């Protein structure tokens, strides 16, 4: 598991990972679970497209409480991932 994956799961309560091939042929990894985002609790879904040749991935879509997040909201959620990780690491030091 990559560091980014480990950071993601610290944000989610009962995270669930799913891998599938989209109708477009793209390889998709989906992470879902409950989170607290902008002081609201709800269900979130993050979708990543995986490039198997380069072994890289890109974040393609995010939903929170069944609403697609805009780019600014996506950046805020990704920032939360790193902030939550850092807080939990400091707690163990």
Interval 64-70 mean pLDDT: 95
Interval 74-82 mean pLDDT: 81
Q: How far apart are the first and last CA of the chain?
A: 22
Tokens of 33: 């679970």
Give the model's confidence band at 69: pLDDT under 50 very low, under 70 low, under 90 confident, else very high. very high
pLDDT at 85: 52
Interval 53-71 mean pLDDT: 91
pLDDT at 82: 65
Query: Which helix (H) or strand (E) segment is 63 a member of?
Result: strand 56-64
pLDDT at 27: 94
């Amino acid at each position: 598991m990559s560091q980014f994956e480990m950071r993601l799961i610290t944000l989610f309560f009962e995270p669930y990972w799913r891998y599938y091939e989209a109708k477009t042929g793209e390889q998709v990894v989906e992470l879902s679970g409950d989170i607290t985002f902008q002081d609201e609790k709800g269900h979130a879904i993050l979708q990543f497209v995986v490039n198997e040749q380069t072994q890289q991935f890109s974040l393609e879509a995010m939903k929170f409480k069944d609403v697609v997040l805009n780019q600014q909201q996506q950046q805020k959620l990704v920032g939360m991932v790193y902030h939550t990780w850092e807080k939990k690491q400091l707690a163990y030091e």
